[in-house]
Amino acid sequence: MVSGIVSYGVYIPRFRIRADEIARVWGDGDDIPLSLQVFEKSVPDLDEDAVTIAVEAARNAIDRAGVDPRRIGAIYAGSESHPYAVKPTGTIVGQAVGTSPSFTTADFEFACKAGTAAIQACLGLVTSDQIDLGLAIGADVSQGAPGDMLEYTAAAGGAAYLIGKKDLAAQIEGFYSFTTDTPDFWRREGMPYPEHGGRFTGEPAYFKHVTSAATGLMERMQTSPKDYDYAVFHQPNGKFPVRVARMLGFSKSQIEPGLIVPLIGNTYSASCLIGLAATLDVARPGERIFVTSFGSGAGSDAFSIRVMDRIEEIRCHAPSVRDYIGNAQYLDYAMYAKHKGKLRV
């Protein structure tokens, strides 16, 4: 029996800061938002963190398909910003959404691709008939040091996917991963903000890993870009996914439905997964979606997905990505700094 996505849900905080407001404070000029192709980003509320965002996304996934949460046998939560160093996010999510105690959980970390790694883990347990449903989550309240280029893009949001075999909204036809030890981006224990690896960013990291995973999957499945209706690539900014799509032979029209980073920024572990959700919000049965994540350190997971008839039945039972994008409340830099905990006394 095939396996795949039973349901999906997202959550994006309503607060935003415009990129030109960040540029105004640091005197960077208006060219930076344009060069990054990121014009505003989501900001968590004062009481929101990766756990609360994960819970909201998970509830939306459960509600969208009307699933009994007691069927969930595994919860894997991927994040760069788990609020506890020792205390799993997954246990809190399970309790909050009403699972039974009979489930396994673990927190995942792999920079921005921890969420897709969680999907792979759930697929393994589902496919081997060890569990009925798995819940895979990518959620982050991303950090960027004041005045750093990351401050223009580091955002907040989450996506949750129920993985199973029955009543599929989308079949996962196959996946392929490509991983190396590449020091392009990191944050050590106790550091409040991550650091860049300079010359390792870009070509040796993002482009090498995304293209390698993508071509590896297409070779394995004997497909090409023309076999897919949509494509979603990890979105650290608005330029990289457009460029890598062009390198691989995908058109702009294939990536446009899932290209949401210009409006909400880079939600790290949720970035690719929210892009996939935005695509599922509009995709029709029978259409195919090509997805490739990226996580610094570095690695990429590529997936081939076919949309099933059931998508039409469940799609409207939870908020869409565009619903969240449209519900925006803007902050100035002072309030943004307060929300992000940048004011340390």
Query: Which is nearest to 241 in space by CA: 287, 278, 189?
Result: 278
Instruction: Choose, from 56, 80, 122, 272, the residue flagged as catalytic.
Output: 80
Q: How far apart are CA 184 and CA 288, in angstroms?
A: 32
Whether 112 is catalytic is yes
Torsion angle of C-alpha atoms 239, 29, 154, 261, degrees rounded to 10: -40
Query: Which is nearest to 155 in space by CA: 238, 240, 85, 76?
Result: 238
| H-type alpha helices, 107-223 | 114-127, 208-221
Whether 203 is catalytic is no
Whether 316 is catalytic is no
Instruction: Choose, from 40, 48, 56, 112, the residue flagged as catalytic.
Output: 112
Contact between residue 10 and residue 277 where contact means Cβ atoms under 8 Å apart: yes
Half-sphere exposure of 302 (CA within 13 A, CB side): 22
Who contacts 299 (Cβ-Cβ below 8 Å, separation ≥6)? 110, 113, 177, 178, 179, 180, 209, 213
Q: DSSP code of 149?
A: G
Instruction: Choose, from 48, 56, 82, 234, the residue flagged as catalytic.
Output: 234
Q: How far apart are CA 125 and CA 58, in angstroms?
A: 19
Please give the positions annotated as active site.
80, 112, 234
